[in-house]
Amino acid sequence: MGAYGQKVIKTSFLDSLATHGVKFTQFYANAVCAPSRAALMTGKSPGHTSVRGNSGIGENDLWYRIPLKKDEITISEYLQKGGYTTGLIGKWHLENPDSLYSWPHKRGFDYTFHRQWDKYSDNPNDPTTIWENGVPKSLETEWKKEYISRDEMRTDKAIEFIDQYKEDTFFLTMSYKIPHTPESDINDDEIYADMGWPEVERQHAGRITILDRLIRRLFSHLDAQGLLENTLIIFASDNGPHNEGGHDHNFFNSNGEFRGYKRDFYEGGIRVPCIVYWKGKIQPRVSDHMASLWDILPTVCEVAHIETRNDVDGISFLPELLGEQQPEHEYLYWEMQLDGWWQALPDGGFRQSLRKGDWKAIRYGIHSKTELYNFKSDPYETNDIAKQNQSMVREMNELLKTSTEATIGFPYGGKVQNYKAMDVWNKKN
According to the model, what pLDDT value does residue 425 have?
41
According to the model, what pLDDT value does residue 61 have?
62
**Contact in structure between 169 and 83 (CB atoms under 8 Å):** yes
**304 and 415 inside one domain:** no
**247 and 157 inside one domain:** yes
pLDDT over 50 at 89, yes or no: yes
d(CA 307, CA 184): 41
**Contact in structure between 211 and 15 (CB atoms under 8 Å):** no
Last residue of some domain: 287, 322, 357? 322
- Tell me whether strands 111-114 and 274-277 are parallel, antiparallel or unpaired: unpaired
In a domain, 328, yes or no: no
**Contact in structure between 92 and 40 (CB atoms under 8 Å):** no
**313 and 357 inside one domain:** no
Q: Give pTM, 2 decimals.
A: 0.93
In a domain, 125, yes or no: yes
Residue 427, judged by CB atoms within 10 A of its CB (0-12, 13-18, 19+), counts as exposed
According to the model, what pLDDT value does residue 180 have?
87
pLDDT over 90 at 424, yes or no: no
pLDDT tens track for 265-276 = 999 999 999 999
In a domain, 126, yes or no: yes
pLDDT over 50 at 421, yes or no: no
d(CA 291, CA 272): 10
pLDDT tens track for 199-231 = 999 999 999 999 999 999 999 999 999 999 999
Please enumerate in sequence order all residues whose Cβ is within 8 A of that of 62, keeping only pairs 6 or more positions apart, or say none. 120
Task: Show the domain range for 287.
Answer: 2-322
pLDDT > 70 in the chain, percent: 90
d(CA 257, CA 240): 13
pLDDT > 90 in the chain, percent: 73
pLDDT tens track for 3-28 = 999 999 999 999 999 999 999 999 99
Return phi, psi of residue 319, to 5°: -55, -40
pLDDT over 80 at 391, yes or no: yes
According to the model, what pLDDT value does residue 189 have?
79
**279 and 419 inside one domain:** no
In a domain, 331, yes or no: no
CATH code at 376? 3.30.1120.10
Residue 278's alpha-carbon distances to 200, 218, 228, 230, 284, in angstroms, are 36, 15, 7, 8, 10
Last residue of some domain: 297, 322, 347? 322
According to the model, what pLDDT value does residue 268 have?
97
In a domain, 60, yes or no: yes
**316 and 348 inside one domain:** no
**273 and 393 inside one domain:** no
CATH code at 204? 3.40.720.10
**196 and 71 inside one domain:** yes
**Contact in structure between 322 and 316 (CB atoms under 8 Å):** no
pLDDT tens track for 150-180 = 899 999 999 999 999 999 999 999 999 988 8
**303 and 376 inside one domain:** no
* Mean pLDDT taken over the chain: 90
B/e letters for 222-254, b = 16+ CB within 10 Å, e = fewer, are beeeeebeebbbbbbbbbbbbbeeebebebbeb
Please enumerate in sequence order all residues whose Cβ is within 8 A of that of 324, keeping only pairs 6 or more positions apart, or say none. none
According to the model, what pLDDT value does residue 404 have?
92
Closest CA to 330 of 269, 396, 264, 374: 396
Last residue of some domain: 271, 294, 322? 322
According to the model, what pLDDT value does residue 129 have?
83
**177 and 297 inside one domain:** yes
Work out how many domains the chain is built from and give that number: 2
**51 and 196 inside one domain:** yes
pLDDT over 60 at 127, yes or no: yes
d(CA 43, CA 229): 26
**344 and 250 inside one domain:** no
According to the model, what pLDDT value does residue 123 have?
45
**Which stretch of 58-62, 280-284, 367-371, 407-411 has the lowest confidence by average pLDDT?**
58-62
pLDDT tens track for 323-349 = 999 999 999 999 998 876 666 677 778
Task: Looking at 49-192, list the stretches that DSSP marks H as alpha helix, in order from N- to C-terminal side.
Answer: 75-81, 139-142, 150-165
**306 and 343 inside one domain:** no
According to the model, what pLDDT value does residue 248 have?
95
